[in-house]
């Protein structure tokens, strides 16, 4: 037998046959793979997986890799570890075939360790003294906008190894991943005593910076600390271990890892320099977490704050506790299902089915008119509104509760940005809905035909059932469309 071939494993009879795929190689792959330290053809196999419509929950039939050259087995194994944050059934099979590979497949769940800091100055002082004398053990990744808005943060990172990242969604890609891998490589080369296991990457920035830095930490086997500077990152991106980057044309967060931060340090003072629309975009996720926990008092507090989101001495400590409360609410769902194997963690996607399809429409319209891009948070706020309309239609006895929630959503101002976007499109409700349907079908992995129903996340009202029961449930497309159109009028 050719020594470069690997014996097939007898298991995984029902799995996808990876050897039937054709790697989709592109000319620039070799350089990018080399910079990432990935085996040659990893990107080609990744594209093949997307082209084949593979899912992370489906087992990749690596047993069939006996048909492939050893180099391709390594490339496929690497692709499987980062495909939509890692194929579920990879570890056993791969470790059986290539000893030593399993350790890089998935790191374990770490519960949320949330530290808070009353001011940016006190945060900077404490992190500076914590790593004083062992500067080579921490590597800062700092969002460029934060560096400009908070010069003291930029001054701090200058004392340590660092990389200033010119963020933005467009830079959330594998080229930036490779650039950071390279920076860290240069740092460890100049400190041969350092091994990656003892290195901590500290990311200061919005969700884009945190997702990228956490991904690199996972790839290299380092620890990472998340220091979020946007509201969205404080309550959502920093918590839950999802890391990764966009991979075109398949879109957002398609390549990544689950890699949980060692800790999250929240310092709400950073929000003082964040534009109000960005705060409201994160606010939509806060409203969502409060809704999922069915904590109406917290929902009202958030709605009131978001109406005019100014953080000052007078409200600083209250906002602080509101942020930690909703971050911890997310952690409850994460803890129940850290790697999103079942449907529990999926509940965090409440309002996101509609939101993602609107964002898809926004991305296309933006190509013709740049102002027509839609913020994720603004789309989520509208998605929540649709959800409440649906829930009230299904449980008319909960109309009063539903109205209370809708008032909160409207009063928060989180829908204003969506409304501006909608009127800018010049579309009527039927036209917008018909543009959304293909995205809904893609989201639900419906390949052909028009679906008659769709599975979304909702919950039973506590006031009706006596107990809050978030659950995912089936809704007809007609009802979804009706709720969508009602929401446009509210
Ligand atoms: N990992 C997860 O679980 C998770 C969850 C939700 C969202 N996300 C990801 O998070 C990203 C969105 O995060 P985001 O909204 O924080 O976007 P972002 O990181 O792009 O930040 C928004 C803008 O604000 C700037 N900025 C950041 N902090 C600032 C501050 N304090 N003052 C002034 N400007 C500041 C940034 O440079 C950027 O221009 C998306 O890529 C999304 O996929 C990840
Ligand atoms: Zn979201």
Q: Which atom of ligand 1 is nearest to the CA of 285?
A: 6
Q: How many angstroms separate the alpha carbon of residue 290 from the centre of ligand 2?
A: 14
Same domain? 64 vs 188: no
Q: Give the closest residue (by CA) to ligand 1 atom 44.
A: 237
Would you place residue 358 in the very low, low, confident or very high pLDDT band (cuts 50, 70, 90)? very high
Q: Which two tokens stand for residue 313?
A: 């001495």
Centre of ligand 1 to C-alpha 423, Å, is 25
Over residues 168-218, the pLDDT tens digits come to: 888 999 999 999 999 999 999 998 888 898 999 999 999 999 999 999 999
Q: Cα(15) to centroid of ligand 1, in Å?
A: 37
Whether residue 149 is found in the same domain as residue 227: yes
CATH number, residue 387: 1.20.1090.10
Residue 316: Cβ within 10 Å count = 15
- Whether residues 192 and 257 share a domain: the answer is yes
Which tokens go with 176? 């930036």
Closest C-alpha among 128, 247, 226 to residue 177: 247
85 and 26 in a single domain? The answer is yes
Does ligand 1 lie within 6 Å of residue 404's CB atom?
no
Residues 356 and 470 in one domain: yes
- Assess if residue 426 is contained within a domain: yes
**Using an 8 Å Cβ cutoff, are 270 and 323 in contact?**
no
DSSP symbols for 50-104: HHTT--TTSPEEGGGGGGSBHHHHHHHHHHHHHBTT--TTHHHHHHHHSTT-HHH
Establish whether residue 349 lines the binding site of ligand 1, counting it when its CB lies within 6 angstroms of any ligand atom. Answer: no
Q: Which of 232, 226, 205 minimizes the C-alpha distance to 145?
A: 205
Q: Which of 255, 274, 293 is the last residue of a domain?
A: 274
pLDDT in tens, 62-85: 654 556 677 788 888 899 889 999
CB distance 315 to ligand 1 below 6 Å: no
Convert 13-50 into a string of H (helix), E (strand) and C (coil).
CCCEEHHHCCCCCCCCHHHHHHHHCCCCCHHHHHHHHH
Cα of 351 vs centre of ligand 2, distance in Å, is 8
Nearest CA to ligand 1 atom 8: 237
Angle (CA) 413 415 421, round 5° = 125
Ligand 1, residue 281: give the atom nearest the CA: 15
Domain containing 39: what range?
A: 16-105
**Residues 444, 437: Cα–Cα separation, whole Å:** 11
- Report angle CA 29, 30, 33 to the nearest 5 degrees: 80
Ligand found nearest the CA of 207 = 1
CA-273 nearest atom, ligand 1: 32
Of the pLDDT bands very low, low, confident and very high (cuts 50, 70, 90), residue 455 is low
The domain total for the chain is: 3
Q: Is the CB of 229 under 6 A from ligand 1?
A: yes
Residue 36 lies in a domain: yes
Tokens, residue 198: 């003892």
Give the atom of ligand 1 at the shortest distance from the alpha carbon of 145.
Answer: 37
With a 6 A CB cut-off, is 246 part of the ligand 1 pocket?
no
pLDDT band at 93 (very low <50, low <70, confident <90, very high): low
105-157 pLDDT tens trace: 446 899 999 999 989 999 999 999 999 999 999 999 999 999 999 999 999 99
Q: What is the pLDDT of residue 250?
A: 84
Find the 26 Cα to ligand 1 centroid distance in Å.
30
Residue among 124, 171, 208 whose CB has most ligand 1 atoms within 8 A, to mutate: 208
d(CA 24, CA 75): 13
Query: How far is Cα 483 from Cα 51, in angstroms, rounded to an integer?
Result: 33
Q: Do the beta carbons of residue 358 and residue 379 sit within 8 Å?
A: yes
Question: Is the domain of 92 the same as that of 22?
Answer: yes
In sequence order, what are the residues at sequence separation of 6 or more whose Cβ sits closer than 8 angstroms to the Cβ of residue 29? 41, 43, 44
Give me the mean pLDDT over the 419-430 stretch. 96
**Contacting residues for 470 by C-beta, under 8 A, at least 6 apart:** 292, 347, 350, 457, 458, 459
**Is 290 within a domain?**
no
Q: How far is the CA of 374 from the centre of ligand 2 (A)?
A: 13
Q: Which atom of ligand 1 is nearest to the CA of 211?
A: 1
Q: What is the CA radius of gyration of the chain?
A: 23
Token pair for 102 = 């399993």
> Does 413 sit in the ligand 1 pocket, CB within 6 Å?
no
C-alpha of 52 from chain center = 23
Query: Based on the domain organization, do 135 and 75 belong to the same domain?
Result: no
Determine, yes or no, domain membership for 303. Answer: no
The Cβ of residue 372 has, within 10 Å, a number of other Cβ atoms equal to: 17
The whole-number pLDDT of residue 54 equals 85
Q: Are residues 97 and 137 in the same domain?
A: no
- Residue 205 has a pLDDT of 97
CA of 134 to the centre of ligand 2 (A): 37
pLDDT band at 2 (very low <50, low <70, confident <90, very high): very low
Q: What's the rounded Cα separation, in Å, for the pair 215 and 11?
A: 30
pLDDT band for position 314 (cuts 50, 70, 90): confident
pTM listed for this prediction: 0.90
Query: Greater confidence, 473 or 77?
Result: 77
325 lies in a domain? Answer: no
339 within a domain of the structure (yes/no): no
Q: How far is the CA of 256 from the centre of ligand 1 (A)?
A: 17
Q: Name the more confident of 341 and 188.
A: 188
Q: Please tell me the distance between residue 204's alpha carbon and the centre of ligand 1 in angstroms.
A: 10
Find the 138 Cα to ligand 2 centroid distance in Å. Answer: 30
d(CA 419, CA 375): 12
Domain of 144: which CATH number?
3.40.50.1970
**306 inside domain:** no
Phi (first) and psi of residue 413, to 5 degrees: 80, 0
Per 3-state DSSP, the chain is made up of helix, strand and coil in percentages (nearest 5) of 60, 15, 30
Ligand 1 neighbour 278 (Cβ under 6 A): yes
**pLDDT value for 447:** 47
d(CA 181, CA 219): 9
* 460 DSSP β-pair partners: 469
pLDDT per residue as tens digits for the range 263-310: 999 999 999 999 998 999 999 999 999 988 888 899 999 999 999 999
Domain boundary pick from 75, 105, 135: 105
**DSSP calls for 186-231:** HHHHH-TT--GGG-EEEEEESHHHHHHHHHHHHHHT-EEEEEE-SH
Closest CA to 161 of 179, 134, 136, 131: 136
Rounded-to-integer distance, Cα 231 and Cα 280, Å? 8
Cβ neighbour number for residue 192 with a 10 Å cutoff: 7
360 CB within 6 A, ligand 1: no
The answer to the question of residue 263 being in a domain is: yes
Q: What are the tens digits of pLDDT across the range 240-275?
A: 999 999 998 888 899 999 999 999 999 999 999 999
Between the CA of 270 and the centroid of ligand 2 the distance, in Å, is: 21
Mutate-to-test residue for ligand 1 from 233, 248, 275, 356, highest number of ligand atoms within 8 A of CB: 233
* 258 Cβ contact list (under 8 Å, min separation 6): 85, 86, 106, 107, 218, 241, 242, 243, 338, 339
The DSSP call for residue 310 is -
Residue 482: band (very low, low, confident or very high) from pLDDT cuts 50, 70, 90: very high
Q: Are residues 221 and 244 in the same domain?
A: yes
Ligand closest to Cα of 288 equals 2
Token pair of 250, please? 């398949």
Determine how β-strand 453-460 pairs with β-strand 469-476.
antiparallel
Q: What average pLDDT does the chain have? A: 86
Which residue has a Cα nearest atom 25 of ligand 1?
145
What percent of the chain has a predicted confidence (pLDDT) above 70? Answer: 85
DSSP letter (8 states) at residue 345: G
Q: Among residues of the chain, what percentage have pLDDT more than 90?
A: 59
- Indicate if the pLDDT at residue 449 is higher than 70: no
d(CA 290, CA 303): 11
Least-confidence region, from 10-19, 97-106, 374-383: 97-106
In this prediction, residue 103 carries a pLDDT of: 39
Whole-number Å distance, alpha carbon 248 to ligand 1 midpoint, is: 19
Out of 216, 242, 274, pick the residue that ends a domain: 274
Are 455 and 391 in a shared domain? yes
Q: Is the CB of 207 under 6 A from ligand 1?
A: yes
């Amino acid at each position: 037998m050719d020594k470069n071939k690997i014996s097939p494993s007898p298991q995984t009879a029902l799995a996808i046959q990876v050897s039937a795929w054709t790697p989709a190689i592109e000319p620039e792959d070799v350089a990018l793979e080399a910079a990432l330290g990935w085996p040659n053809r990893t990107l080609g196999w990744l594209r093949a997986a997307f082209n084949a419509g593979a899912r992370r929950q489906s087992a990749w039939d690596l047993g069939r890799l006996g048909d492939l050259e050893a180099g391709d087995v390594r490339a496929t194994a690497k692709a499987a570890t980062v495909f939509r944050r890692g194929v579920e059934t990879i570890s056993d099979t791969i470790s059986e075939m290539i000893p030593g590979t399993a350790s890089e497949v998935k790191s374990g769940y770490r519960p949320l360790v949330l530290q808070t800091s009353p001011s940016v100055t006190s945060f900077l002082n404490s992190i500076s003294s914590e790593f004083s004398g062992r500067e080579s053990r921490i590597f800062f990744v700092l969002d460029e906008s934060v560096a400009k808005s908070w010069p003291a943060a930029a001054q701090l990172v200058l004392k340590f190894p660092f990389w200033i990242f010119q963020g933005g969604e467009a830079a959330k890609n594998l080229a930036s991943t490779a650039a950071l891998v390279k920076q860290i490589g240069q740092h460890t080369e100049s400190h041969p005593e350092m091994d990656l296991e003892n290195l901590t990457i500290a990311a200061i920035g919005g969700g884009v910076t945190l997702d990228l830095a956490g991904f690199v930490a996972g790839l290299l086997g380092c620890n990472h600390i998340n220091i979020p500077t946007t509201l969205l990152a404080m309550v959502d991106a920093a918590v839950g271990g999802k890391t990764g980057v966009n991979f075109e044309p398949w879109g957002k967060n398609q390549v990544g890892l689950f890699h949980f931060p060692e800790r999250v340090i929240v310092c709400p003072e950073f929000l003082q320099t964040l534009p109000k629309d960005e705060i409201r975009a994160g606010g939509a996720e806060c409203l969502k977490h409060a809704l999922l926990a069915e904590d109406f008092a917290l929902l009202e507090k958030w709605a009131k704050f978001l109406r005019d989101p100014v953080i000052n001495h007078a409200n600083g400590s209250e906002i602080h506790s509101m942020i930690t409360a909703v971050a911890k609410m997310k952690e409850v769902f994460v803890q129940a299902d850290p790697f999103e194997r079942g449907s529990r963690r999926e509940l965090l996607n409440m309002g996101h089915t509609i939101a993602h399809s609107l964002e898809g429409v926004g991305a296309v319209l933006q190509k013709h008119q740049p102002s027509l891009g839609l913020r994720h948070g603004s789309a989520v706020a509208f998605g929540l509104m649709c959800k409440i309309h649906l829930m009230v239609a299904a449980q008319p006895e909960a109309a009063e509760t539903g109205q209370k929630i809708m008032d909160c959503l409207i009063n928060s101002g989180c829908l204003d940005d969506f409304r501006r976007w909608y009127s800018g499109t010049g579309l009527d409700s039927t036209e917008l809905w018909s543009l959304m349907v293909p995205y809904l079908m893609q989201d639900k992995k419906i390949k052909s035909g028009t679906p008659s129903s769709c599975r979304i996340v909702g919950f039973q009202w506590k006031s009706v059932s006596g107990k809050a029961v978030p659950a995912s449930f089936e809704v007809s497309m007609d009802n979804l469309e009706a709720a969508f159109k009602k929401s446009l009028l509210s």
